[in-house]
Amino acid sequence: MQILFEKNFYKTFLLSRAHNLQFLEKFFLAKISSQNLHIWKKCCNFVRFLHTMKSESHIIVPDGLHQVLLHACCAPCSSAIVEWLCAGDIVPTIYYFNPNIFPREEYEIRKQESKRHADSLGIRWIDGDYNHDHWLQAVCGLEQEPERGKRCEVCFYHRLRATARKAQELGIPWFATTLASSRWKNLEQVNTAGLRAAEDANSQWLTANGEKVQFWAQNWRKDGLQDRRNALLKEYNFYNQQYCGCEFSINHI
């Protein structure tokens, strides 16, 4: 019962448009106890983050964007972005497609953490296929490339092309990626891969209602999202990986 209350409360608060302490007091007063004071603190931290975010936002939301398919590389990188989207009345669907991750045990840990986060907020979460051999074929010949080199460009495109295709299948006109929030990634490479993925996907398929998909190129490191990511990492006690994902990046730890 306690776990259900925590999940429902934070979800209700996050999706509510009344992100203020008065809302917290009205909603929480009847249920406050020593066992759930940490939820109060969690929501207060979110209020402070939200006020800071709204004071001077550098994130540009395209006209007509109300829902987005968010490619998630891991739970830590997606957590603050998901909060930002929900607070801005944008409905995210999380797509976990990361066949680059090695070994398989590492992939499963990261996948389950991503699902745990989505489930805690009641957000739709979709599991992409894990075909590491197919990914290895895509980056064949680039094994010795440095991090942020040509192999990463191919890897980004491989994952975002699948995301663009999934967005078309779901009829979601916009897609984005949490790769643009990682300190290990080159933002220009990520955005180039996303724009190319949208262009190539649209040349072959359209959404069920005949629309094209568009890539939301965005720097998710701004507006305090990096600091919020680090805070949520502690709040959720997320598994925090120490390398990008593939076996070639392990050598660069």
Helix, strand or coil, per DSSP, at residue 47:
helix
Residue 70 has pLDDT above 70, yes or no: yes
The predicted structure's pLDDT at residue 205: 77
How does DSSP classify residue 73? S
Tokens of 200: 């190539």
The predicted structure's pLDDT at residue 133: 98
Q: Is-contact 189 180, C-beta < 8 A?
A: no
Contacts of the segment 53-56: beta carbons below 8 A, 24+ positions apart: 53/84, 53/87, 53/223, 53/224, 53/225, 56/223
The predicted structure's pLDDT at residue 86: 86
Residue 154 has pLDDT above 90, yes or no: yes
Mean pLDDT of the chain: 84
Domain count, the chain: 2
Say if 60 falls within a structural domain: no
Residue 64 has pLDDT above 70, yes or no: yes
Residues of the chain above pLDDT 90, percent:
59
The predicted structure's pLDDT at residue 4: 42
How does DSSP classify residue 214? E
Q: Which domain holds residue 141?
A: 67-252
Q: What confidence category does residue 224 fall into, taking pLDDT thresholds of 50, 70 and 90?
A: confident
75 and 182 within one domain: yes
Per-residue pLDDT, averaged over 73-80, amounts to: 96
Residue 180 has pLDDT above 50, yes or no: yes
Say if 61 falls within a structural domain: no
Which of 29-38, 44-53, 54-63 is most confident? 54-63
230 and 139 within one domain: yes
